[in-house]
Amino acid sequence: MATSESIITRPPQPGIVVWLKKNLFSNWLNTLLTVFSVTVIFLTARGLVNWIFVQADWAPVVQNLRLYAVGPYPAEQMWRVWVIVYMVSAMMGISAAKWGGTVLAFARALGVAYLLLALLPIALEYLGINTRLMLAGNLLAILAGYLAGSRLERRNRLKARWVLLAWLASFGLTILLLGGFQNVAVLPRVESGQWGGLMLTFLLATVGIVASFPIGVLLALGRQSKLPVVKAMCITFIEVVRGVPLVTILFMTSILLPLFLPDTLRIDRVLRAMLGMTLFAAAYMAENVRGGLQSISRGQYEAAHAMGLNNFQTTLLIILPQALRVVIPAIVGQFIALFMDTTLAIIIGLLELLAVGSAILNSNPQWLLLDMEVYAFIALIFWVFTYSMAYASRKVEQAVGLGIR
Amino acid sequence: MDSHLPRFLYRKGVPVWRDVVVLKWVAQIVSAVLVIAFIYFLISNLLEAAEARGLGLGYGFLKTAAGFPMAESVIPYDPSRSFGYALWAGFLNTIKVSIVGIFLATILGLIAALARLSTNWLVRNIAGVYVNIIRNIPLLVQLFIWYFGIFQQLPGVNQALSLPGPVYLSQRGLYMVGMLPTGTFSEWLPFLLGGLVLSWLAYRLLLAYQVRSGRATYPALVGLILLIGLPSVGWLIASAPPLEKSVPVLGNFNFSGGMRLTPELAALLAGLVVYTGAFIAEVIRGGILSVSKGQIEAAKAMGLSSIQTLRLVTLPLALRVIIPPLISQYLNLTKNSSLAVAIGFVDMFFVGRTIINQAGQALPVFILIMAIYLSISLFTSLILNFYNRRVQLVER
């Protein structure tokens, strides 16, 4: 990179007047458009500022922050959620030490985000000093993870596969910790009906993507297979699931599934929704992975066979590792889409973020007409998460050089 | 070779447990048996549950009276009609929303795409902000904002907001000027359809002749004249105008006349159009950017004018890239219209859910609805495959 920088001398930056003339006033039509745009921007900005700071009543938002975060999860069990949040923060720190670059930038941004949350200009009675301290403490968790991680990394003891395994383990731990156990006094059972808010939204999306990954890979391999029966079954599943709206699949698993299972086997509501999300995501995952598989050149298969590997070994050791690396951006994109699709769980009666908002509006007659405030807030939360994820993924793509040949 | 084993365990000298052909068949049979066993397990449970709870599994219920009202319908509907008819009305509502939505979303997407490609910095960035905001907020949240945040908060009929047009916005929905068919409409319809068919035919035939003979036949001009001319002739010879302008007028309690969109339909359309428009904008922009500069320069070098370059070089090349993802966006819009259930618009999914609540026929209704959505999407991919095969670049 350094060499090309030194060879290409950049042309001098044009002055501001030249820039304005070129980009805004190059001809009469452009000038007209500029004037029109400035008017639109001005009116929109004035209306927005007026609405946000003067007209809007943010009471249903600021007074219920905990509900948006975790839904009806019992207050005395909140420490479990905090443990999970800290665990994720520490893992972010360790990953930042392992991979650096964009992951490090992401961890840094996460720390700043926690700090900003802790300093939100909201009355102390709605966002207490304890909560603020707990939020800010995540900064320390990230830092601790980072320091521990870089110590190990310097001694070359931090293997990438261990970090990935730790992520998977922390995911399992999250489910166990949130659910608790029937007869353990320290961790009493919290029925999944009491999970809600942003926490449930994240859980649904994460479970969907993690569980759909192995299924999707198998389906993609099945679709590429030369065995007609296997191929036909895989194609049928993928095309049927992709051909119908997600709502119908969620309805299917939440209402019809109990009919298909023996009376002794009862699956609770959140799990049924997760099953629906997983089936849905698996079909799309399969198509993404198929894209990756198709990008592998024939030479790779031939070379593997020439080395004496059988079909199974070729797929597992040669093809999949290369194919999966190619589809990482697509999988991130799918996670973002799935994250947004979790809102559909409101239709089958789950208390995810959007449903919490609607429940809050109905809980107090004084908030009856404040729909705009609540849903705008929810839209903002989604936008911040999805946009930052998409942004980070784009940066990773550029850094790895995928997509650019 | 293990000669002590019986002969039928060998084929061409290879033992069966190492014979690839045999192994492949075994693998297929085993996986098929596993899947069939799983399906059998599910269905036997279903039959047991159906018998225990007295659930019906047939489609006989489709003929019984529905008994529930529908807020709006393309075809005349009342509660005494059958469940099957109600589902049909719901299907037509889905189709109506999809067609209108696709039409409007394409226009919005095209405008946004052109704005994103504009040389004007402000216009480019306004369009960019629109695309990046809308694509990163879940559609359902947007529908909630449109319906609960905007359309439900509108003033009552008497204080309806009036926009130029005239268009009136109130809690009862959106009223605007409509063209209503009169008694002579059925006489005029053949002229309209004839104009459409004939202009298309004339265009294709004249174009083919022009390509074959090299003589200018003006296919576009002739087609356009036929398209406008025939319906105009029909309009003139009809005894009374076949369409009548109808303007909404505020009465004592409600508007009369004009065309009405219910708040549910208006919110659903607004949400779907704004959301899908952002995706379509990206599709169109990508397609136009995909045309390499060399092609345009070559066209210029051949002496084509800029309009000819656009029509004969840029558009055909860009459309090849645009059409497949565009059609899948149309399909997405159709599938997403099922979110109507959350804001109370009676589409097919909404009707299906109502039928399940009323008649308890969950499984048959669901199979029917999924089959309909599936056939829509299979039909779409059929068209898409056909198109792809037609426009595929013939590479050397």
pLDDT (mean) for A99-106: 82
Distance from CA of A188 to the nearest CA of B (A): 33
- Least reliable range by pLDDT among A119-123, B32-36, B390-394: B390-394
Cβ neighbours of A44 in B, within 8 Å: none
Q: What is the pLDDT of residue A98?
A: 86
In DSSP terms, which residues pair with A307 in a beta bridge? none
Q: What is the pLDDT of residue A404?
A: 42
More confident of the two residues B50 and A219: A219
Q: What is the pLDDT of residue B57?
A: 72
| Residue A312: pLDDT over 70 | yes
Q: What is the pLDDT of residue A6?
A: 54
Closest CA relative to residue A92, chosen from A173, A33, A170, A12: A170
Contact (CB<8Å) B377/A240 = no
Q: What is the pLDDT of residue A400?
A: 64
Domain ranges in chain B?
A: 7-53, 83-177+263-391, 180-246
Assign B271 to helix, strand or coil: helix
Contact (CB<8Å) B363/A378 = no
Cβ neighbours of B370 in A, within 8 Å: 240, 244, 248, 252
Asked if A251 has any chain B CB less than 8 Å from its own CB, the reply is yes
Asked if A310 has any chain B CB less than 8 Å from its own CB, the reply is no
Which residue, chain included where needed, has tokens 């006349």? B257
- pLDDT band, very low/low/confident/very high, at A40 (cuts 50, 70, 90): very high
User: What pTM was estimated for this model as a whole?
Assistant: 0.87
Question: Which of A33, A229, A260 has its CB closest to that of B46?
Answer: A260
| Residue A355: pLDDT over 50 | yes
Q: Could you tell me if residue B129 is left (phi over 0), alpha (psi between -120 and 50 degrees) or otherwise beta?
A: alpha
Write down the mean pLDDT value for chain A: 87
Which H, E and C letters describe chain A, residue by residue?
CHHHHHHCCCCCCCCHHHHHHHHCCCCHHHHHHHHHHHHHHHHHHHHHHHHHHHHCCCHHHHCCHHHHHHCCCCHHHHHHHHHHHHHHHHHHHHHHHHHCHHHHHHHHHHHHHHHHHHCCCCCCCCCCHHHHHHHHHHHHHHHHHHHHHHHHHHCCCCCHHHHHHHHHHHHHHHHHHHHCECCCCCCECCCHHHCCHHHHHHHHHHHHHHHHHHHHHHHHHHHHCCCHHHHHHHHHHHHHHHHCCHHHHHHHHHHHHHHHCCCCCCCCHHHHHHHHHHHHHHHHHHHHHHHHHHCCCHHHHHHHHHCCCCHHHHHHHHHHHHHHHHHHHHHHHHHHHHHHHHHHHHHHCCCEHHHHHHHHHHHCHHHCCCHHHHHHHHHHHHHHHHHHHHHHHHHHHHHHCCCCC
Assign B212 to helix, strand or coil: helix
Contact (CB<8Å) A354/B141 = yes
CATH architecture label of B83-177+263-391: Orthogonal Bundle (1.10)
Residues A387/B132, Cβ–Cβ less than 8 Å? yes
Nearest CA in chain B to A376: B145
Encoded tokens for B37: 């066993």
pLDDT (mean) for A224-246: 91
> How far, in Å, CA of A77 to CA of A88, rounded?
18
| Residue B379: pLDDT over 50 | yes
Side chain identity at B38, as an amino acid letter? Answer: F
pLDDT digits (tens, 9 = 90+) for A132-175: 999 999 999 999 999 999 998 888 888 888 888 999 999 989 98
Distance from CA of A246 to the nearest CA of B (A): 8
Q: What is the pLDDT of residue B98?
A: 94
Question: Which of B342, B363, B377 has its CB closest to that of A256?
Answer: B363
Q: Helix A101-118 to helix A371-400 angle, to the nearest 10 degrees?
A: 160
Contact (CB<8Å) A340/B122 = no
pLDDT digits (tens, 9 = 90+) for A253-300: 988 888 888 877 778 888 899 999 999 999 999 999 999 998 888 899
- pLDDT band, very low/low/confident/very high, at A8 (cuts 50, 70, 90): low
| Residue B3: pLDDT over 60 | no
| Residue B149: pLDDT over 80 | yes
Q: What is the pLDDT of residue A43?
A: 95
Distance from CA of B334 to the nearest CA of A (A): 9
Counting residues of chain B whose pLDDT is more than 70, the rounded percentage is 96
pLDDT digits (tens, 9 = 90+) for A373-386: 999 999 999 999 99
**Longest distance between any two alpha carbons in chain A, whole Å:** 77
Q: What is the pLDDT of residue A307?
A: 92
pLDDT digits (tens, 9 = 90+) for B349-369: 999 988 888 877 788 888 899
Q: What is the pLDDT of residue A403?
A: 45
Contact (CB<8Å) B119/A23 = yes
How far is the first Cα of chain B from the last one, in angstroms, to the nearest whole number? 51
Residues A150/A163, Cβ–Cβ less than 8 Å? no
Contact (CB<8Å) A247/B55 = no
Counting residues of chain A whose pLDDT is more than 90, the rounded percentage is 44
| Residue B126: pLDDT over 80 | yes
Q: What is the pLDDT of residue B154?
A: 87
